[in-house]
Structure 1
Amino acid sequence: MSVLILDFVTGTGVLPAWVVPPAAVIDDVLWVARAARKAPPDSVRLEARGAAVAWVLGSGAAPVTGRTDTPVTSGLASAELWAALVVCDRRSPPPREDVCLAWGVQYAPPLTTVSLAVGDGVARTLGWLLGTPGLDERPMQLPWRDENGRVLTAEELYADALAHRPERFPSDEQRLELWRWVHEAGFSAAAAEWIEATKRRTRGRAYESCPSGRSAAEG
C-alpha cells in the first residue's frame, strides 16, 4: 500500500492494494480536481472524480451513497460504482441486495441529491480505479507515468501501444498513431510540470499562512 497526499498540503491516506493505476497518477487526479474548483463548467465532474479518489483513500463519505464504511474494499467500490451508474441512467436496475452481499457489503441506494454530473464523474473514476472492463479509461487528461511516477517518453508510449494493442497498428496507419502518441507525450510532460508548479504554489501559501512561519505539516 502507498501513502498519498489527500488534502494537498497536510493530509495522508492509504491507497488500497486493489487499485489498478499507479499511485503517482492517483495523486495527479487529486491535484487536477482541486484546480477544477475554479474552472466551470466541468468543475462538478472533475471535483466528483477527486471526491471518488479521496473516498477510496479514506477521506470522507462515499460521494454517491454517503457510505462511511472503512476501509474501502473493492466490494464497496464496486457497489458504489453500480450506484453511480444508476444515477447516470435511472432506468438501470439497481444492484440487488444479494449481489452486494456477494461483494461482502450491504446495499445502499444513491442519495437523491446526487446529480448526473456527479454520478458520471464517480462512475468513470471508480471504473478506472477498479480496472472494470469497458470502464477502465482514464477519467480525465493526466500525465502518462510509469509505476514509479516518471513521465513516459513518446517512444515509451509508442512501444506500450504496440505491445498492448498490436492489432490497431497496420503499417499504413502506424505513422499516424505514432504522431498521436508523440502529441500525447508532449501534453503529458506539460501536464506533469503544471501539477508540480501547482503543488509548490499551494504548499508555499500554506507555509506563509502559518503564524509560526512553518507549514501545518511541520507541526
Structure 2
Amino acid sequence: MQLKISDREFIEELYNEINPYKICDIFDLKSKTYKEVKLIYFNLGTNSYLEPFKNKILNGYSILGVSDYEKSYVFDNKYKSKENRVLEIGKTINLDLNVLTYLKNIVADRKLEDEQNFIDYLKYIKESNYNLNMSISLLERISKPIDLKVWSDYVLSFVKYETLENITKDSLKDDKILPEPKYKWAKEILDSSEYMNEKFDQFYVVACILSKAFILKTQKMDSKRKFLELLNYSLNELNIS
C-alpha cells in the first residue's frame, strides 16, 4: 500500500524539522485534514513527566525499552500540541526466559546465586506497577522447545509472581495454593503456547523486527539511516512485502 502524496509530504515536513515548537505548529496545522492522527516523537529531549519509563539497571538486572520512552512526546490532533494534558499510559514489562528461569528456580526453592538482588529486582517491578507479560518468553520457547511439564513450571511461577502483592523470598517459595481464576489463567497461557506453535512464522517475524530495532538503537548512526536499515532488513532479509 503506497502512501498518498499529501501523507508523505506531511511526514517529511515533520521529519525534517528540528525545532520542537515548529513541529507542534506543523502537526496542529496539517493534522486537521485527518479524522484522527496520533504521533509519538522520540527525539525532542527528555520529557520529565515520563521519567518512570526510563531504562533501569538494578544491581546488574535490566529493564530496557525498545526506545528511550522518557524522551517521548505524544501528539494527538484532538488537542493543541503546546498545551499540557493528562495522558494515561500503562507500563508493560515482558519477562524473558532468563528472568523466568531465575524466578522458577526461586519458587522451586533451588539455590540461586545473587538471590537477594534478583528478588529486589522482582520487588521493584511489582512496586512500580508494571503490567506483567511473558509473550517474549512464549516466542523464545517456540524457538527453543521446552518439555511441557517444565514449561508448566515456568508458567505457574509467572502466574504466582503476578498474583503476589508482597514479594519476598518466603512468599515466592510458599506452597500456598493459587486462587482458582489464576489456575485458569495459567491454563490459558499454556493453551496459547500450543496455538503460537502453529502461528510461529508470524510471531517470529515480529520478534526479528523488534530485535533488529533494538540492535539498531544501540548503534551510532542517525535516525534516517536506522530506519533505512530496518526497512532493508524487513524487505530483503525477512522478505516482508
TM-score w.r.t. the length of structure 2 is 0.28
Larger radius of gyration between Structure 1 and Structure 2: 2
Q: TM-score, normalised to structure 1's length?
A: 0.30
Larger proportion of strand: 2
Greater relative CO (CA pairs within 8 A, separation 6+): 1
